[in-house]
Amino acid sequence: MREIVLDTETTGFEPSEGHRIVEIGAVELENHMPTGKTYHQYINPERNMPKEAFEVHGLGDDFLRDKPVFKHIGRDFLDFIGDAKLVIHNAAFDVKFLNFELKLAGLSTIEWSRAIDTLAISRQKFPGSPASLDALCRRFGVDNSAREKHGALLDSEILAEVYLELIGGRQPDFGLANQPMKSATTANGAADDWRPRPRPEPLPPRITEDEARAHAEFMVKMGEGALWKKRA
């Protein structure tokens, strides 16, 4: 199964207000494992960069002036993503901008059904907890120390790690895809007594102090009528 983890940087929040994409970064996964293939492109937005957006990603007018416009790279982008599912944090934002640019370029747009929104997944799994990419990095122990400013390719690489943790960690094949599988029974038909070994060191807690505090406040708001406070 092929998936593309994707991120964009833009000049603002709404394409309908004249804002454009200035960077696309994408990472390929195969069966939930990174393949090493990536896509990265800076784009000339054909407009000036607002100060607020520059402070987020650091991509200014001088840097972007000689970069290609979207209509010159749109086909290559579509060729890279193919028909894969698209893993995006806050997918509504990126798909909105991508479809705006694709439509302007006269290219086919992206169907919403292809998007896997990690923001929605994290809010469903951890209700009431912070769900930003930085917050999820803290929760899962993903190193984001290089993320001084937003960058589409770096954020895609970080999001790929976060996504794999959200869906249960990097364990579809435990890195043993090229090794023969062990039979569930021995040659004489006796049950195999293999058992997983305990971790040499326990995993660090995945909940921050702020998240624990938010949970405690939520419990208080439930009041004495909460189901778990009623005696059988």
Sequence-ordered list of residues with C-beta below 8 angstroms from that of 43, at least 6 positions apart, any chain = 20, 21, 22, 23, 24, 64, 67, 68, 69, 70, 73
- Alpha-helical (H) ranges within the chain are 51-57, 61-64, 70-81, 91-104, 118-125, 133-140, 152-166, 209-222
Active site residue 40: no
Residue whose token pair is 């579809």: 172
- Angle, CA of 136, 9 and 53, to the nearest 5°: 100
Sequence-ordered list of residues with C-beta below 8 angstroms from that of 183, at least 6 positions apart, any chain = 192
- Angle, CA of 100, 106 and 107, to the nearest 5°: 80
What is the distance, to the nearest Å, from the Cα of residue 89 to the centroid of all Cα atoms in its chain?
A: 5
- Report whether 64 contacts 45 (CB < 8 A): yes
Strand (E) or helix (H) holding 67: none
Cα–Cα distance measured from residue 77 to residue 229, given in angstroms and rounded to the nearest whole number: 54
Q: Which one is catalytic: 19, 32, 57, 150?
A: 150
Q: Look at phi and psi of residue 158 and say left if phi exceeds 0, alpha if psi is from -120 to 50, else beta.
A: alpha
Burial class (CB in 10 A: 0-12, 13-18, 19+), 178: exposed
Task: Point out the residues that are catalytic.
Answer: 150
